[in-house]
């Protein structure tokens, strides 16, 4: 898998023009959703490099990350004369970069694309690393391919248009990156003031977070080994997310990951000795900023069923990424149904649900 270029922008106009110049093309497309068309497209559409771009707009939100939307993008590309030499710019959050990357990677057997993530979650997670895809049959990211963008342009100016909930959603992935890297980085993330956001300081943290993910992806581009570290919090988190969708009260991805981290750090403590004080500190940060996902014991079996569909599983065994200590990653850690039920009990008790 080719390595994508990550650009921390200081001049988006220049950086985007350079990225486009590196991708010779016959036609240029820009994919937006209903939100980014209104809030973000006006920031770039006047750039000289974007003058000829044809806009494709899709519905906003994870509910539109599906086959129907994918077909719409393919159809718009075809109807507007796209060829295998065309180029697409994905301007949006993780849903846009995931679906747009998949659409580009499969149209005409693959056209080049550039990601401009506009949410914190997309900057530190979805747009980086080459994973693309859509939700299918009620399951998150069930269909997709590994196919990296040519360039990912990260400009934290976009974050000023985000509400606090979406900032926190992305920050959960940064917290995960802190847990799998160093105690120093984990500690500085817990100390960051989420109530009075310093965007310059946040940009430095974002750059560090992206570097952590890129280092892991470079070692293991197709998730055969150490890249599974990036799944910390996601086995339980995706189950929470799927249950929330099924109950028609969807939650932001990062919130589900944060709640999943609580469960999986507790299991890490029991199984591989993750320190109790660091579990407590991380749990307190999550409880204070993310609140609680409310469910009852009658829904444990449904959550377990969602976990059985996790892509890390092998021969019916549910696998977790656990932590022996901050930075001490333990992949492929199996859990029994009883252990998973215990995690859910701990979550409800410790989070006060």
* Tens-digit pLDDT profile for residues 161-184: 899 999 999 999 999 999 999 999
**Burial class of residue 79 in the structure, from the number of CB atoms within 10 Å of its CB (0-12 exposed, 13-18 middle, 19+ buried):** exposed
Q: Which of 260, 212, 266, 254 is nearest to 240 (CA)?
A: 260
Residue 45 catalytic? Answer: no
Q: Which CATH number fits domain 5-161: 3.90.660.10, 3.40.50.1970, 3.30.160.100, 1.20.1110.10?
A: 3.40.50.1970
Active site residue 109: yes
Residue with the bigger pLDDT between 102 and 310: it is: 102
Active site residue 314: no
Considering the candidates 176, 238, 269, 312, report the single residue annotated as catalytic.
238
Q: Do residues 215 and 133 make contact, with C-beta atoms less than 8 angstroms apart?
A: no
pLDDT of 273 higher than 80: yes
Asked whether residue 1 carries a pLDDT value surpassing 80, the answer given is no
The three-point CA angle 105-244-266 to 5° equals 95
Catalytic (active site) residue 213: yes
Q: What is the DSSP letter of 224?
A: S
Q: What is the pLDDT of residues 21-80, one digit of tens each?
A: 999 999 999 999 999 999 999 999 999 999 999 999 999 988 999 999 999 999 999 999
Render pLDDT for 127-153 as a digit per residue (tens, 0 to 9).
888 899 999 998 888 999 999 999 999
- Identify the CA nearest to 140 among candidates 215, 242, 245, 54: 242
Distance CA 150, CA 1 (A): 11
How large is the average pLDDT for residues 319-345? 97
Is 231 an active-site residue?
A: yes
Strand ranges for 129-235 from DSSP E: 131-136, 139-146, 151-154
142 is catalytic: no
Whether 72 sits among the annotated catalytic residues: the reply is no
Catalytic residue among 223, 228, 241, 269: 223
> From the candidates 109, 160, 191, 200, which is the catalytic residue?
109
Task: Write the pLDDT tens digit of every residue in 250-272.
Answer: 899 999 999 999 999 999 999 99
Q: Report the CATH number of the 164-351 domain.
A: 1.20.1090.10
Among 64, 131, 177, 278, which one carries the catalytic annotation?
Answer: 131
Active-site residue (options: 65, 166, 173, 176): 173
What is the residue-averaged pLDDT of the chain? 95
Specify whether 85 is catalytic: no
Which of the residues 227, 228, 278, 330 is marked catalytic?
Answer: 227
Residue of 112, 185, 253, 312 with catalytic role: 253
Which of 135, 231, 278, 312 is labelled catalytic?
Answer: 231
Question: Annotated catalytic, 14?
Answer: no
Q: What is the DSSP string of 102-152?
A: HHHHHGGG--EEEEEE-SHHIIIIITSSSEEEEEETTEEEEEEEE---SEE
Domain boundaries, the chain: 5-161, 164-351
Residue 52 among the catalytic residues: no
Q: Which of 234, 269, 278, 330 is catalytic?
A: 234
């Amino acid at each position: 898998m080719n390595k994508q270029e990550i650009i921390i922008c200081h001049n988006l106009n220049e950086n985007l023009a350079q990225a486009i110049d590196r991708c010779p093309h016959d036609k240029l497309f820009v994919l937006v959703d209903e939100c980014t068309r209104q809030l973000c497209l006006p920031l770039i559409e006047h750039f000289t490099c974007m003058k000829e771009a044809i806009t494709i707009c899709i519905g906003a939100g994870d509910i539109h990350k599906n086959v129907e939307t994918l077909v719409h993008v393919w159809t718009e590309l075809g109807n507007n004369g796209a060829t295998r030499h065309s180029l697409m710019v994905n301007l949006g959050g993780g849903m846009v970069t995931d679906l747009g990357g998949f659409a580009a990677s499969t149209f005409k057997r693959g056209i080049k694309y550039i990601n401009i993530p506009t949410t914190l979650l997309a900057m530190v997670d979805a747009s980086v690393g080459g994973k693309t895809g859509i939700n299918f049959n009620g399951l998150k990211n069930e269909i997709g391919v590994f196919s990296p963008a040519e360039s990912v342009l990260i400009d934290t100016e976009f974050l000023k248009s985000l509400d606090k909930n979406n900032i926190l959603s992305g920050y959960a992935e940064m917290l995960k990156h802190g847990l799998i890297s160093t105690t120093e980085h984990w500690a500085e993330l817990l100390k960051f003031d989420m109530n009075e956001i310093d965007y310059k300081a946040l940009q430095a943290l974002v750059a560090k977070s992206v570097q952590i993910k890129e280092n892991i992806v470079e070692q293991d581009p197709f998730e055969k080994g150490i890249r599974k570290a990036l799944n910390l919090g996601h086995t339980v988190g995706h189950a929470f997310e799927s249950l929330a969708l099924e109950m028609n009260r969807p939650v932001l991805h990062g919130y589900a990951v944060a709640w999943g981290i609580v469960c999986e750090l507790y299991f890490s403590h029991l199984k591989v000795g993750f320190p109790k004080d660091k579990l407590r500190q991380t749990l307190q940060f999550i409880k204070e900023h993310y609140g609680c996902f409310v469910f009852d014991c009658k829904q444990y079996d449904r959550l377990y069923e969602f976990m059985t569909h996790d892509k890390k599983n092998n021969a019916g065994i549910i696998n977790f990424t656990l932590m022996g200590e901050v930075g001490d990653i333990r992949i492929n850690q199996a859990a029994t149904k009883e252990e998973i039920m215990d995690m859910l009990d701990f979550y409800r008790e410790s989070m006060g649900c």
